[in-house]
Structure 1
Amino acid sequence: MTQSVYEQSELCPVCESDDIDDSVEVCDAICESCGFVISENTDSTSLEWDVAEGFFSSSEDKDWMSECRIRNATDQQLAEAFETLEEFANQLGLSDDLRGKTAEIYCDAFRAEITDGRVTACIIAACLRLASRRGDLPIPMSRLTEFSSVDEKKFHRSHLALCDELDIEPRTPAPSEYVSFLQLELGLTDADYEEVEQLVDEVEREQMFVGKDPAGIAAGGVYLLQEDFTQLDVAKAVGLSTETVRQRVKDLQKVFDDV
């Protein structure tokens, strides 16, 4: 039988308090400080992970370092991952829902030991990329690799490992799907969003756009239709160069001139 956490340390496995009541008949003990029920089947490894998932699934803006004490290398790895996820998500202004979906992928990767030996920032960025592509707000890859802690080559390796080991089929978003991200970044109105979305929907199958970054096509559409933004504005929003956006604008203009 697995030795209980209480038997191993006589401390609460959640808050590490020694204020333990072991006089309760229905279980081994109860922590008087946090109320955690301790039983002989409580496994320390599983418990650490349950606490970790509890943090990830919370919609509150919490700091992992203030939630759990760092006791070993596993705790350290999780703490670093949680802080990195919050840092990236805060900088990009991402929703709690997307943070949670990213956390789910990281949880699966952690259990499968895909995270071992990989740079935490790169694996978190790759998880964000996959999670965003599953939802309605795909994040341009260049916005993730522009973080100073994310090496582009290691990001791609992490992304490939996640897809291979977790059996995830990567899906390339259409240009119109990136309009949602641009709306978030640039504050487009719903009317502006619909106008740009319609434009890029009409041209995405044109031969000249095959193999081109769909985020760049969406950025070109925004610039072409919205006078309030410069090429630099939309280029920064998707993490591409102004030259790339300028070329996509020319391509879009050519398509409509030929119609």
Structure 2
Amino acid sequence: MSLREIYDRTFDESCGKSIDASECPECDGRLRTDGGETACEGCGLIVDQYYFDHTHGPRVFDEDPHSVPRTGGKLTPTRHDRGVSAEIGYNRDANGRTVSSKKRRQLYRLRREHRRARFESKGERNLATALGEIIRMGSALDLSWSLIEEASQLYRHAQDADLIRGRSVEMIAAGSLYATCRRRGLPRPRAEIASVARCSCDQVQTGYRALNSELGIDAQVVTARTYVTRLGSDSGLSTRVQSRAYELATTADEDGITNGRNPAGVAAACLYLAGTEHDVAPTQTELAALADVSVPTLRARYVELTELV
């Protein structure tokens, strides 16, 4: 999204005068350029439009053997057919007109047969169910779309390695999402994955263990620094306190006092110590509840940090 004006000056048809391109001619609001349209953030007036799309490549000719055709949408591993299947509409045609009752009955029959022929085997049906579960859990946890696609691809590898046989589809789907978070070093505990999954926390761990033993998940080490930003945002602390807590977590990692410790507890202690330095610290009970640790654990890490600094 760009905040830069397309032109320095523009023309107002109502008054016939040139106006500033960063100011709305109707409500004096701020203009924002997005997708080729310059619109006002206040009233929504579209001041300027730019219809040319420069994202596509060169033209494709059938007689060129080296050309790659561009048809359909973007391929994605989050669909069992990678997004190449078609969808049959309901009560309106391509022009938006209402179809007749005879055509609606025909479309109903076509959708029914299309639904039956959508899956070639039971494996594809299970794959579609698992990918839908991964998308649902990723959306509930507010994960990025690239992470959801990576988790979907990991589930496909597990299906190719015949790891689904004898195991629950939901368990391997939740394990794939948890394994992708571990691969990227994101602080997402098993309990959080299990809270939105259709399986227990032990089943999430079982699915992850099966994927790790057969596929070799390259899990990243989750340090206290990865928890500081998340816990600081959840507790509502200021950026200054979070920056100081990040410095304390870095010092704790360098001195090795975090070895064998719960990184969430260390991060909570860093936030508590940084808050006490700025006289805005929340209670130990609140930080311990956010970090999912006990209050004595947070207090023990706090004492170690005070001795260090």
TM-score bracket for this pair, using the shorter chain length:
0.5 to 0.7
Aligned-partner Cα distance in 1 for 2:271–2:174:
26
Q: Which amino acid aligns with 2:300?
A: K
User: For 1:141, which of 190, 193, 197 is the aligned residue?
Assistant: 190
User: For 1:157, which of 195, 206, 219 is the aligned residue?
Assistant: 206
Compared CA separation, residues 110 and 208, structure 1 to 2 (3 A): same
Please name the residue that 2:307 is paired with.
Answer: 257
Secondary structure in 2 matching 1:204 = helix
Please name the residue that 1:219 is paired with.
Answer: 268
1:52 is aligned to 2:77: no
What is the alpha-carbon root mean square deviation over aligned residues?
3.5
User: For 2:297, which of 226, 247, 254 is the aligned residue?
Assistant: 247
Give CA deviations for 1:121-151 in whole Å, capped at 9, x if unaligned.
3322322222123325331233223446332
Please name the residue that 1:8 is paired with.
Answer: none
Please name the residue that 1:105 is paired with.
Answer: 154
Higher Cα Rg, which structure: 2
Asked if structure 2 preserves the Cα contact closer than 8 Å seen for 1:53 and 1:107, the reply is: no
Please name the residue that 1:196 is paired with.
Answer: 245
Q: Which amino acid aligns with 1:101?
A: E
Aligned-partner Cα distance in 1 for 2:214–2:303:
42
Structure 1 residue ranges without an equivalent (≥5): 1-25, 27-34, 37-48, 56-67
User: For 2:172, which of 123, 127, 142 is the aligned residue?
Assistant: 123
Asked if structure 1 preserves the Cα contact closer than 8 Å seen for 2:175 and 2:207, the reply is: yes
Compared CA separation, residues 250 and 50, structure 1 to 2 (3 A): closer
Q: CA deviation at 1:181?
A: 3.9
Q: CA deviation at 1:153?
A: 2.7
Aligned residues: 200
Identity %: 23
Aligned-partner Cα distance in 2 for 1:219–1:75:
44
Asked if structure 2 preserves the Cα contact closer than 8 Å seen for 1:144 and 1:150, the reply is: no
User: For 2:259, which of 194, 206, 210 is the aligned residue?
Assistant: 210
Larger relative contact order, structure 1 or 2 (CA cutoff 8 Å, min sep 6) = 1
Compared CA separation, residues 51 and 145, structure 1 to 2 (3 A): closer
Higher helix share: 1
Task: Provide TM-score, normalisation by structure 1.
Answer: 0.61
Q: CA deviation at 1:224?
A: 3.9
Compared CA separation, residues 136 and 207, structure 1 to 2 (3 A): closer
Please name the residue that 1:18 is paired with.
Answer: none
Compared CA separation, residues 166 and 220, structure 1 to 2 (3 A): same
What is the 5 A alignment of 1:228-239?
229-231=282-284, 233-235=286-288, 237-238=290-291
Q: CA deviation at 1:166?
A: 1.0
Q: Which amino acid aligns with 1:135?
A: R
